[in-house]
Structure 1
Amino acid sequence: MTDSPQQTFDDATAVLRSALAGDGDAVTVAFDEVVDRSGLAGAYGVAWCLAATMVGDPVPPGTCALDFPGIDEAGYDTRWVARFVSAYANADDDTGEALFGAAAADGLLPECLLTLAGSTVATLRSRAA
């Protein structure tokens, strides 16, 4: 079972509130609650919502390129976030789902989601400055 759009938005808001407060444990708990309620599909929806928050206004699909110097030397979670957000920006759901599934299979999804939440907060703060 997947969440309703409003539930996904509410869950993303809870994750962002925790991330804004600098509470990584609460971010993890918020994602765990989503997984407990609606499985990885629900967590994917929240992650996709966070990517949307980072990207901002819609961009024409297929027009975004991943430009991240040194991406191959970055940590798994950082590479994952860059690629996941790029998939969102290019409306490439298949790649987003593949990245999400790979991180879950590698046992690194919690770290990736925590980095995504932190990156989203950093983006919001940079826009506000």
Structure 2
Amino acid sequence: MNHIALDKQHDAVKQFVLSLPADSNGTVLELEGRAVACVLPPPSENGEDDEPWTNEKNERRCELIDRKYKGNPLSPAEALELARLQEQMIRYRERVAPLPLEAARRLHQDLLEKAARAQPDNA
């Protein structure tokens, strides 16, 4: 999910976003009668932080992803459901199997230093 800092947006944009209804099911923005965006409250406000991640949720998430990328457009409600499932899955993954980024950074730095030592002097 993309994160966009409202602080850097024009005041009119900030006012518009802050004026949207705080609906736990989200808000669908429409243009000429067509849904163009869904605005969701942050996950912590949805009460989803304590919900366990289940095989059923993952199967539903995969089903929605398959439909989305096979050219079957999702309804606004399904797009909202997919966004929530994606957020839940990411929080679950971060909790049970966080990515070893620090180890990868150290390895990268070690490799850069090794490559620099292997370079002949360009004097």
Shorter-chain TM-score range: under 0.3
TM-score, length-scaled by structure 1: 0.25
Q: Which one has the largest radius of gyration?
A: 2
The structure richer in helix per residue is: 1
Which structure's relative contact order is higher, taking Cα pairs within 8 Å and 6+ residues apart? Answer: 1
